[in-house]
Amino acid sequence: MERITEQLDPIFKPHSIAFIGASQDPRKWGFRMLDRPLRTGYRGAVYPVNPKLEKIHGIQSYGNILDIPGPVDLAVMTIPAPSVPEAMKECVEKGVRGVVLITAGFAEIGEEGKAIEQRVVRIARDGGIRIVGPNCMGIWSAAGQLNLSFEQAPGAGSISFVSQSGTFGGYLFQIANQKGYGFSKFISIGNQADLTAADYLEYLAADDTTKVIVFYMEGFKDGRRFFELAREAVKTKPIVIFKAGRTEAGGRATRSHTASLAGSEGIFDAMCRQVGLIRTEEALQSFDVAEALASGMPLPPGRRVAILGSGGQGVVTADACASLGLEVPHLKSETIGSLKKIMPPHAPLPTNPVDFAGTFRTGLEEASVVEILLKQEYLDGVIANVPINPMAWSYTTNPRKMFRPLLDITKLAIEGAELFASLPSKYHKPIVTIRFRRFGNDIIEDILRGAGIPVYDTPEECARAMHALVRYADVMRGKT
């Protein structure tokens, strides 16, 4: 029997694709499925299939997949559900290895659709074809440069996202991408008629380009196998999961959405804890957590966190940490003494959080504070602000007057950021940062991200990220 990688590589790394139901009409899915890969860099052979058109997007169209002269790895179907069984038979005859079945109108609509779905799956399995969907919104694969899901190609990275919802999953994916998170794959799994969440987990666990796997799930077709695979997968890469349908109202909605049963909330939560999955309470939190886990930050030896910030940010961060079960310990007198040598005279006593009290400081001073904190055996990680970008402090309306001082300050800021970025690997403890201002092409953030230090917009995001690192450290130590 073929391994899962051999079965699914033709889907995520296809050399050739047939678009069955390709269209010239921008309002139709047959247009979108063909248009997106053509515009966003797919390099393989493309074969539109539509018996009514000779050319689509200037490319020769074929009346039937069997008319295509070359081999076809993947077929993307957007034809009506009743026409799919016959098209699937032709794909088997052609030797197609995978199908992305966008079409809805299967098990999610009732018994008639369920019967068609079961017939399609039997044909595919007898012919050695694996199916994504039906009732899905396609896939994105950085390795295959294949984009069936988005109007613009996402940024490549190491997070893979498996979503049981197409539209909502794509929405979450795009927000996460806009925040700068990079992705290896996006998979809209739809009804899971053939390939299930467990199959995708098995594939992604073996995928070298995936460092963290994120799931949005409403229900499972093979929950036992999923959790058995997850128990092994978390030993090599983190798995983050958000499960919808936790309430009675949400459970009813899942049945009409993707033909799934939500299952017992209590049992699901217990299984996640036992296996070592990192569960999130809100959908978008999954990607903040995944970004930290994919960053390459050292896992913290414990849950004791130091906070460097300014005023209210430090207070809110401390609250957020405590609410997640992280500890924010008082600093010892020796540590306070070392910090006071760097802090401005009017700053409050640095007891944790440490507060510069709004004083202008250089990146070197901030890096020095963080280094003192990381040196302490009783502290396991630091949440800090992104080192000050001098452009944030150039309030003058006379650029010529500020030009020379700003150059000098920027040089110090870069030196400070480079020192700051070197500290996690030096002390084997993580740093998570919050930015106070957004700048286009911010060199300070680039330096931090280049070293794997994640950058967030809110104190709560920082706390969740640190908590995820602590949680996964526990999983790796067997404390699930």
DSSP assignments along 18-81, one per residue:
EEET--S-TTSHHHHHHHHHHHTT--SEEEEE-TT-SEETTEE-BSSGGG-SS--SEEEE-S-G
Q: Residue 390: pLDDT above 70?
A: no
How many residues in the chain? 480
- Residue 392's pLDDT band (boundaries 50, 70, 90)? low
What pLDDT score does 436 carry?
Answer: 75
What pLDDT score does 256 carry?
Answer: 47
Top CATH class of 154-294 equals alpha beta
Q: d(Cα 312, Cα 385) in Å, to the nearest integer?
A: 12
Q: Please give the share of the chain, as a percent, with pLDDT higher than 90.
A: 75
What pLDDT score does 43 carry?
Answer: 96
Range 321-326 average pLDDT? 97
Global pTM reads: 0.90
- Residue 411's pLDDT band (boundaries 50, 70, 90)? confident
Where residue 307 falls (left for φ over 0; alpha for ψ -120 to 50; beta otherwise) is beta
- Residue spans of the domains in the chain: they are 1-136, 154-294, 297-476
Q: Residue 187: pLDDT above 90?
A: yes
- Residue 51's pLDDT band (boundaries 50, 70, 90)? very high
Range 102-126 average pLDDT? 97
Query: Between 340 and 357, whose confidence is greater?
Result: 340
Range 204-218 average pLDDT? 97
What pLDDT score does 62 carry?
Answer: 98
Range 241-265 average pLDDT? 60
Q: Residue 394: pLDDT above 80?
A: no
Q: What is the DSSP letter of 150?
A: -
**Cis amide linkage into residue 348, ω under 30° from 0:** no
Strands (E), 313-459: 354-355, 381-385, 431-434, 455-456
Query: Between 308 and 267, whose confidence is greater?
Result: 308
Q: d(Cα 434, Cα 87) in Å, to the nearest integer?
A: 52
Q: Which of 179-188, 207-216, 361-370, 376-385 has the lowest mean pLDDT?
A: 361-370
What pLDDT score does 46 carry?
Answer: 98
Q: Residue 396: pLDDT above 50?
A: no
Query: Between 410 and 64, whose confidence is greater?
Result: 64
Range 294-310 average pLDDT? 95
297-476 has which fold?
Answer: Rossmann fold (3.40.50)
- Domain 1-136 matching CATH 3.20.20.60: the answer reads no
For residue 272, give the nearest of 303, 241, 244 by alpha carbon: 241
Only one residue has tokens 């405590």, namely: 322
For the CA atoms of 379, 380, 384, 390, the dihedral, rounded to the nearest 10 degrees, stands at 90
What pLDDT score does 347 carry?
Answer: 86
Range 287-303 average pLDDT? 96
What pLDDT score does 230 carry?
Answer: 97
Would you tell me how many other CB atoms lie within 10 Å of the CB of residue 377? 8
Q: Which of 121-125, 212-216, 306-310 has the lowest mean pLDDT?
A: 306-310
Encode pLDDT of 9-39 as tens digits.
Answer: 999 999 999 999 999 999 999 999 999 999 9
Instruction: Name the token pair of 94.
Output: 């052609």
What pLDDT score does 1 carry?
Answer: 65
Range 435-453 average pLDDT? 82
**What are the DSSP calls for 276-304, one per residue?**
T-EE-SSTTHHHHHHHHHHTTPPPPSSSB
| CA 476 remoteness from chain centre | 21
Domains 1-136 and 297-476 share a fold: yes
Q: Residue 255: pLDDT above 80?
A: no
- Average pLDDT over the chain, rounded to whole? 90
Q: Could you tell me which residues come within 8 angstroms of residue 300 by beta carbon, excluding any fewer than 6 positions away?
A: 380, 381, 429, 430, 466, 469, 470, 473
What pLDDT score does 397 carry?
Answer: 44
